[in-house]
Amino acid sequence: MILIIYTDGGARRNPGPAAIGVVIGDKKYGEYIGKTTNNVAEYQAVIFALKKARQLIGKTKAKETNLEIRSDSQLMINQLNGKYKIKDEKLKPLFVEIWNLKQDFKSVIFKQIPREENQQSDKLVNVTLDNLL
């Protein structure tokens, strides 16, 4: 089984008020995460997605599930795939957390997609921030 997840994170006035947007099947999540940077928000969206996917399908079924996490963040996807080094100290512990969460699944693929294909999760970020500000 392959489960496709769309994620996005964003901050206004980078750093500033930030939110994440995650789409797992027909379920949509938008959540305010406090004041941070765009890059931290992108990573937090993936962490949320991995935790939520495990919760939705259960720990036993997760071990049999292949995840494909799609994001329009070129930097994050290339860092998660080992193509770019992580220079920002704030991102290193988030990378480790994602690495550990990946172990709950059969496989996890990180795929960069064009922004146009990530509109649902982007909208969740912006609606969440619009409702706060």
Enumerate domains of the chain plus CATH numbers: 2-132 (3.30.420.10)
Which residues are CB-contacts of 87 (< 8 A; sequence separation ≥ 6)?
A: none
CA dihedral 96, 32, 53, 49 (to 10 degrees): -40
Q: Report the b/e string of 49-64 with b at 16+ CB within 10 A.
A: bbeebbeebeeeebee
What does the pLDDT read at residue 32?
98
pLDDT at 55: 98
pTM over 0.95: yes
The pLDDT assigned to 1 comes to 83
Cβ(71)–Cβ(110) under 8 Å? yes
Q: Which two tokens stand for residue 53?
A: 């996917």
Question: pLDDT tens-digit profile of 14-64?
Answer: 999 999 999 999 999 999 999 999 999 999 999 999 999 999 999 999 999
pLDDT value at residue 113: 98
Cα dihedral 117, 77, 122, 21 sign? positive
Tens of pLDDT along 106-129? 999 999 999 999 999 999 999 999
Q: Is 62 helix (H, G, I), strand (E, B) or coil?
A: helix
Cβ 50 vs Cβ 102: under 8 Å: yes
* Closest to 39 measured CA to CA, from 23, 16, 61: 16
